[in-house]
A and B are shown apart, each in its own frame.
Chain A
Amino acid sequence: MSVTEAGNGMRSYYGRPVLKEPVWQPEIPAYFFTGGLAGASSILGLAARIAGNETLARRALYIGAAADLVSPPLLIADLGRPERFLNMFRVFKVTSPMSVGSWVLLVSGGATSTAALLQWTGRLKPVMIAAKIVSSLAGGPLAVYTATLVSNTAVPVWHEARQELPFLFGSSAVASAGASAAIAVPPAEAGPARRLAVGGVLVENVLFELMQKRLGMVGEPYSKGEAGRFRKIAMGCTLGGAALLARPGRRSRLAAVAGGALVLAGELAVRWSVFRAGFQSARDPRYTVEPQRERAQSRTAPAPADGSV
């Protein structure tokens, strides 16, 4: 066996990766979490307003605004040239989910913080209502675009999961919004929040399993190494937290706070797991080369006359 051959017969250049690992730091998965929380919370706030649950509406709005406000500093801190963050708004570029997302965050952050400020001061009611509508319209895209952003790379474990990741991030966002509202609102008025947390957690865990099953070999990084460890932590925290919220959390504020905190910790772990899986997937040339080799062979078999690949 030559040095260019991996153990399973796949050939590579001294086992070196084909792709570059992402250069993103922990701020990015933290933003996946806060962005999701902000997006789903602003929808929750408006829905609660329409349903007439005043406490839930107010607190979800404030949670959404807080999450919206911490998001830009996280993103700016991760830039290689933070002082040039405004360059994100030089262009609007559909082919770049990061460009689209920057504008979505700008609109969402502006609208949600305006709505929260006016709600708090009790001024300019029509503007406040308009801001709430805008912020909840931007909420859905804000909660899921980060999944599209990572899917739109050459990293196999992200790119091949492009049909599932937006739903995974979306359900994680709904669970985060539900859990944080269940912490902030007394149990008697937090019914919808608890249901969202429990429902989001269940959907997310089922989706994650289905996604891994469908991906097969390419999906291995999700259950290996650091990504795999955080996936297990996430499962334990989210399901445990959901169980607390579903039963004792209905009466006991303490149980609701503990359950909500567990779900939030779990959601953060889910983001971290997906994030790190991308690094693991890019690092091992197997995940890049093997599926491409299969694809190339199935297309060109038998070998073409001109010897091209």
Chain B
Amino acid sequence: MKTLAQPTGSPAAWPDTYGDDARERMGFFTDTSICIGCKACEVACKEWNLVPEDGMVWTGESYDNTSELGANSWRHVAFVEQNTSLRGDGQADALRWLMSSDVCKHCTHAACLDVCPTGALFRTEYGTVVVQEDVCNGCGYCVPACPFGVIDRRHLPRDSGDPPAEILGLQLGKAEDGRVWKCTLCYDRLKGGHEPACAKACPTDSIQFGPLDELRERASKRLEKLQAEKWNGARLYGHDPGDGVGGFGAFFLLLDEPEVYGLPPDPVVTTSHLPSMYRTAALAAGAVALGVLAGFLGGTR
């Protein structure tokens, strides 16, 4: 029997469990070589998904004042200024500006989904990963489990229509929202036959939405073209089903190493080691019992 913890090459619980309702696996191919850093994706995402505003800061980090993905930022455009030429034949005083719209990777083997104890995180019929906000109890386990630091707890005040609960006169609910949030790959729009808001809004088609297999082919062709044109550092990130998370549902064409964009160079889903972790736990539990018994060897009193 396959368990969720064992990499299987395709997402667990998809498409088999959906029967006739299963759909083609959909995803994003974000081609950063044509991103112009307009942030229309960030705005469209916030507008469509009613993602609340969480404060304004000026970071001084190029044009990036969003800084990272989180509970209230489901698209994030990174800006990197480099003294490198765009093409391989570089001049000494070259300058290039890398821009990349980051998003939840909708992993084939998603750590957030695996570790969620309530079943709030689930695999949709499109092979994407979504949080059910009416189920999430804010345990926070998915937050450090995600190898990309995507999902986070929302610390903003609760919706006024959803006041903290009282049980036996005791306020049990908290003043803050307390649940975790992330990109849903616009699950509601997909159901209506529309593309996600960010892809729709992207003016250069840097964000491309479609069936994952199709996107992978398109990305390989695009990479070949860039390499033939000697673009510096062009590479695909997350397109390989053999990587540590079984391939991303939302993958990228980058122009430098992933860590330059704040992405992990070799992410691994933590649950791939879970079988051995359970074996270790069983041994340790046995050792605790034996250890306690050993305490009686020197006498029972």
Contacts and interface: CB of A to CB of B under 8 A. Distances in A.
Contact of B291 (A56, A95, A170): A170
B227 interface: yes
B270 A154 contact: yes
Interface in A254-284: 278, 282
Interface in B252-293: 257-267, 270-271, 273-274, 276-278, 280-281, 283-289, 291-293
A307 B137 CA distance: 42
Contact of A81 (B150, B179, B270): B179
A48 B220 CA distance: 67
A152 B145 contact: yes
Given A90-B119, A174-B288, A16 B280 contact: no
Contact of A308 (B143, B239, B294): B239
Interface stretch (A20-28, A112-120, A217-225, A230-238): A20-28
Interface in B212-229: 220, 223, 227
Given A91-B119, A162-B277, A80 B177 contact: yes
A17 B40 CA distance: 25
Contact of B263 (A18, A188, A199): A18
A90 B118 contact: yes
A67 interface: no
Interface residues of B, number: 97
Interface in A58-112: 76, 78-85, 87-88, 90-91, 93-99, 102
B271 A83 contact: no
Interface string B228-254: 000000111101100000000000000
Q: Which of A2, A24, A83, A296 has the most CB of B within 10 A?
A: A83
A17 B274 CA distance: 25
A29 interface: no
Contacts of A158: 144
Interface in A3-52: 3-4, 10-14, 16-24, 39-40, 43-44, 47-48, 51-52
B174 interface: yes
Contacts of B160: none
Q: Which of B154, B267, B293 has the most CB of A within 10 A?
A: B293
Interface in B154-188: 154, 164-165, 167, 172-174, 176-180
A80 B117 contact: no
A96 B114 contact: yes
Nearest to B166: A83
B172 A19 contact: no
B140 A22 contact: yes
A278 B135 contact: no
Nearest to A178: B295
Contacts of A193: 295
A81 B173 contact: yes
B299 A192 contact: yes
B271 A152 contact: yes
Interface string A148-159: 110111110011
Q: Which of A16, A81, A148 has the most CB of B within 10 A?
A: A81
B258 A309 contact: yes
Given A11-B259, A82-B172, A4 B80 contact: yes
B116 interface: yes
A80 to B, nearest CB: 2
Given A80-B174, A192-B300, A11 B223 contact: no
B126 to A, nearest CB: 21
A208 interface: no
A148 B279 CA distance: 10
Given A141-B285, A177-B292, A13 B137 contact: no
A239 interface: no
Interface in B117-164: 117-120, 135-141, 143-154, 164
Given A79-B137, A90-B118, A19 B291 contact: no
Contacts of B274: 95, 97, 152
A56 B139 CA distance: 36
A252 interface: no
Interface of B: 3-5, 59, 61, 67-68, 70, 78, 80-83, 111, 114-120, 135-141, 143-154, 164-165, 167, 172-174, 176-180, 220, 223, 227, 234-237, 239-240, 257-267, 270-271, 273-274, 276-278, 280-281, 283-289, 291-296, 298-301
Given A18-B263, A44-B295, A80-B179, 15 more contacts: A20-B70, A22-B143, A23-B140, A40-B288, A47-B296, A53-B300, A80-B136, A80-B154, A148-B281, A155-B144, A171-B291, A192-B298, A195-B295, A282-B144, A296-B266
26 contacts: A4-B80, A4-B82, A13-B260, A18-B264, A19-B146, A21-B143, A43-B288, A53-B300, A79-B138, A82-B172, A95-B115, A97-B274, A98-B141, A151-B270, A152-B270, A154-B111, A154-B147, A158-B144, A159-B270, A167-B283, A174-B292, A190-B301, A192-B295, A200-B291, A307-B223, A308-B237
- 3 closest pairs, A vs B, by CB? A80-B138, A80-B178, A140-B285
